[in-house]
């Protein structure tokens, strides 16, 4: 699942994900509330969540999702790498973070590492 408030980033990230073999992008949303609602319905393996989602922010959404479905891997997308953001991500229960400036370079490698965690079955992103 992809939860990103910026439509341009949302399209760009979706394009990267759809080019990776074995990835099924099950949905794209723009708010934290949508991410929370759809994650309970779709039960994706992995969720990419924007740190700065409107309404329910990405960290709050990650905490709530992890409380309901501890098995879901959550990656928080941050604008910049700084200690405050990184500490907040660690406290949220997210699996890791990824700086938006590094998405094109880092996202494919991150997905490959998640394949190793999940085995070789198809990974469902919401």
List of domains in the chain: 2-125 (3.40.50.2300)
Q: Which residues pair with 46 in a beta bridge?
A: 73, 125
pLDDT tens for each residue of 44-64: 988 999 999 998 999 999 999
DSSP reduced 3-state for 49: strand
Instruction: Evaluate if residue 124 carries a pLDDT over 70.
Output: no
pLDDT tens for each residue of 18-53: 888 778 888 999 999 999 999 999 999 889 999 999
> Across all residues in the chain, what is the average pLDDT?
87
Instruction: Evaluate if residue 8 carries a pLDDT over 50.
Output: yes
Residue 94's contacts (CB-CB under 8 Å, 6 or more residues apart) are 49, 59, 62, 66, 74, 75, 76
Instruction: Evaluate if residue 123 carries a pLDDT over 60.
Output: no
Tokens coding 89 = 């991500």
DSSP reduced 3-state for 2: strand
Spatial distance between the Cα atoms of 47 and 63, rounded to a whole number of angstroms: 12
Q: Are 81 and 51 in contact (CB under 8 A)?
A: no
């Amino acid at each position: 699942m992809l939860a990103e408030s910026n439509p341009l980033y949302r399209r760009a990230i979706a394009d990267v994900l759809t080019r990776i073999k074995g990835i099924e992008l099950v949905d794209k949303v723009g708010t934290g509330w949508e991410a929370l609602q759809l994650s309970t319905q779709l039960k994706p393996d992995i969720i990419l969540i924007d740190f700065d989602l409107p309404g329910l922010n990405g960290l709050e959404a990650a905490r709530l999702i992890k409380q309901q479905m501890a098995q879901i891997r959550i990656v928080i997308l941050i604008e910049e790498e700084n200690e405050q953001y990184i500490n907040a991500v660690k406290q949220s229960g997210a699996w890791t973070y990824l700086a938006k400036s590094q998405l094109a370079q880092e996202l494919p490698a991150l997905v490959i590492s998640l394949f190793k965690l999940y085995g070789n079955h198809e990974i469902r992103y919401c």
